[in-house]
Amino acid sequence: MTPLTDDYGRKIEYVRISVTDRCDLRCTYCMPEGFKDYREPDNWLKFGEITRLAKVMTAAGTRRIRLTGGEPLLRRNLPDLVAALRQETSVEDISLSTNATRMTRFAKDLKAAGLNRVNISLDSLQKDKVQELCGRDVLDQVIAGIDAALEADLKPVKLNMVVMPGSNDDEINDMFLFCRDRGLTFRMIETMPMGHTAVQAGHVSLQPTIEKLRLDHGLIPVIGELGGGPARYWQTPDGKTQVGFITPISQHFCATCNRIRLAVDGTIYLCLGQEEKIEMRELLRDPGCTDEAILRALEQGMHLKPERHHFLETPEKIVRFMSQTGG
């Protein structure tokens, strides 16, 4: 089968699947306090629909699946979906993005179902700042979740920190040391203008941070691939600690974009920073739908995938929040 390929020659090897738009936190850059524009659960894709779509996509060259939200561990019976994806598709790697507040409950079941690894969001090591950024003081819960993921061997465990000016950009070195001491991969992410509160949060270029950490800790570039995403990796001289930088603003990676995002309602967003999309829910729920029809819809949609985003040129353009797209 011919791989899914867009008009710029980019093969789609990676799909991020949102299983819920709900979350138990209110991070300002993702789902701010008072947000109510949720999809009705009847419009969420069922596990069987997700698995069927994933089966067609993996047959057409998609190698990696990441489960996202909202907070994906709020979706009931999530290990059942992981097991179905592992058993019924040809996917090579299944990962999960989570805030880890529920990881102590689910880590072992997720591993047993076939989950490979997790990315955990944590933007501060200070309780009061976590409260400010997330709406709740969950620092102890998240750290317990990190330890549970490590114990369940969901490795590499990657810790994601969204860097915000005047908020947590003074904690970067502390977070690096925290990750080094726990055996985590440390990843920093530039804030993207997804929704008005993310625009208000501001943007910090990570380019000076890369240079400072390189000098302070002797970091050297990693040769080779460390996952299917856009991060550029460095590591300590002993090779034990990796540091990733995701720089969609200061040094975008659109030319090598190999991913699409499936929202919980069946909408496939072809670019995080543009509006082009494929609506899949009605097709998947049509009793006469065939796998060939699903593949045709995906192939036709590939012509819509834009060459790049324009976050810098028109930061106010995207009005949907990250949680609506799938983080």
Which tens digits make up the pLDDT trace of 183-196? 999 999 988 765 44
Q: Over 60: is that where the pLDDT of 143 sits?
A: yes
Band the pLDDT of 152: cuts 50, 70, 90: very high
The predicted model gives 75-103 an average pLDDT of 98
Contacts with 107 (C-beta within 8 Å, 6 or more apart), sequence order: 145, 148, 149, 151, 152, 154
Q: Over 90: is that where the pLDDT of 150 sits?
A: yes
Query: Which conformational region is residue 104 in: left (phi greater than 0), alpha (psi within -120 to 50 degrees), or beta?
Result: alpha
Say what the pTM is: 0.92
The predicted model gives 302-311 an average pLDDT of 81
Q: What pLDDT is stored for residue 321 in this prediction? A: 63
Q: Over 60: is that where the pLDDT of 37 sits?
A: yes
Q: What pLDDT is stored for residue 198 in this prediction? A: 44
Q: Over 50: is that where the pLDDT of 199 sits?
A: no
Instruction: Please provide residue 68's backbone torsions phi and psi, each rounded to the nearest 5 degrees.
Output: -135, -170
Over the stretch 212-265, which tens digit does the pLDDT of each residue have? 999 999 999 998 766 667 788 999 999 999 999 988 776 667 888 899 999 999
C-alpha separations of 85 from 13, 44, 93, 111, 227 in Å: 15, 17, 10, 13, 19
CATH number of the structural domain 14-325: 3.20.20.70
What percent of the chain lies above the pLDDT cut of 90? 71
Q: How many residues does the chain have?
A: 327
What percent of the chain lies above the pLDDT cut of 70? 87
HSE-CB for 157 with a 13 A CA cutoff: 28
Handedness of CA 145, 138, 229, 184 (dihedral sign): negative
Q: What pLDDT is stored for residue 313 in this prediction? A: 57
The predicted model gives 174-180 an average pLDDT of 97
Q: Over 50: is that where the pLDDT of 300 sits?
A: yes
Contact 308, 254 (CB under 8 A): yes
HSE-CB for 10 with a 13 A CA cutoff: 21
